[in-house]
Amino acid sequence: MSKTPASPKGKPAPKSQPRKATAKPEGAAPEGDRIAKVLSRAGVASRREAERMIAEGRVSVNGKKIDSPALNVTAKDRISIDGQPLPEAEAPRMWLYYKPIGLVTSNSDEKGRKTIFDELPEDMPRVMTVGRLDLNSEGLLLLTNDGGIKRKLELPATGWLRRYRVRINGRPKDEDFAPLRKGLVIEGERFQPMTVSLDRQQGANAWLTVGLREGKNREIRRAMEDIGFSVNRLLRVSYGPFQLGNLKPGEVEELRARVVRDQLGLAEEEEIPAARPTRARGGKPAGKPMGKPAGKPVGKQAAQPSGKQGNPGRTAGKAPPARGTRPDQRGGGKRPAGKNPRR
């Protein structure tokens, strides 16, 4: 019969001790993500809106209301908003939208004016706008269901060029725009240099192409007023690589998964779900899926504003590039405007 060998000098062998958990190094980053970021990625709200919801006591984690966004959460945590479980995050998606004149770019308006969300198609998921266009401006507005994409595209560090067709009253000369090209300070606010080209004179008005890399409130209008010209029409035709193309006022078009991944550097597995059929105003399926067959070329030039106010013509003498990087990367078919009761 075998025996346990004795320790030297007749002392009993020491008992084995259970292994202790390895302590986290001091200063290590906490697990998970900030609660506001998680809410934003789930498409509930932007980070700023999520922080406001937290401060209002509308968010609970594991059954307890929180009042500060300084909290990291993981997939194990149970998050609820207004007593309802947080919906699962959808794959990131993006849409191009031609914002018409007369709509406010916000979820609600204290003056009771119509917002873009009142006019989006009723089968659209909850979306957020990338930046804004003021009430009297029109053209390309990017929409997304992902707060991370919204934040990435809006950051000044991204520096994506926004290009506009601008009509001003008067007969300017090219040298009149030198202050805009150098950068202005208006009422203590610094405006970064813009690119400005004088395209053509049309009666009492002149058409310009203006490019800028930031999005301050009414920036182009204020800059033009500072050098003595008033803007009577402003149309955004591109935002970074995304083009307005042939969209008409009120139309929406979803970008394909490949375009979103390539342009924003998203992971391959973050696939955008297959497009669903569009719905007409009455709620019946329109029978046309969002998205056009690959291989068809996109519009040859940026959409020209309709109406009696004049035709801005081609942008800087050249047709703008296709939406995305290749003709077959453009996503989604055009969809009619309609009420969106989800807003």
Instruction: Report whether pLDDT(337) > 50.
Output: no
Instruction: Give the pLDDT confidence of 126-135 residue by residue, as tens digits.
Output: 899 998 999 9
Q: Which residues are catalytic?
A: 134
Instruction: Report whether pLDDT(226) > 80.
Output: yes
Instruction: Give the pLDDT confidence of 114-128 residue by residue, as tens digits.
Output: 999 999 998 888 899
What's the rounded Cα separation, in Å, for the pair 243 and 73? 37
pLDDT at 341: 40
What residue spans of the chain are helical by DSSP H?
35-41, 47-55, 116-119, 147-154, 178-182, 219-226, 257-264
What's the rounded Cα separation, in Å, for the pair 110 and 112? 6
Residue predicted with more confidence, 30 or 323: 30
pLDDT at 30: 67
Instruction: Give the pLDDT confidence of 71-103 residue by residue, as tens digits.
Output: 998 888 899 999 888 877 678 899 999 999 999
Instruction: Report whether pLDDT(342) > 60.
Output: no
Question: Are the beta carbons of 328 and 293 closer than 8 angstroms?
Answer: no
Over pLDDT 90: what percentage of the chain?
A: 41
Band of the pLDDT at 235, cuts 50, 70, 90? very high
What's the rounded Cα separation, in Å, for the pair 138 and 53? 30
Question: Are the beta carbons of 267 and 320 closer than 8 angstroms?
Answer: no
pLDDT at 262: 85
pLDDT at 267: 56
Tell me the average pLDDT across 327-336. Answer: 43
Per-chain mean pLDDT for the chain: 76
CB count in 10 Å sphere of residue 80: 15
Write the CA distances from 106 to 59, 109, 113, 114, 214, integer angstroms: 22, 7, 10, 9, 19
Instruction: Report whether pLDDT(24) > 80.
Output: no
pLDDT at 94: 94
pLDDT at 86: 85
pLDDT at 117: 93
Question: Are the beta carbons of 139 and 235 closer than 8 angstroms?
Answer: yes
Instruction: Give the pLDDT confidence of 250-260 residue by residue, as tens digits.
Output: 999 999 988 88
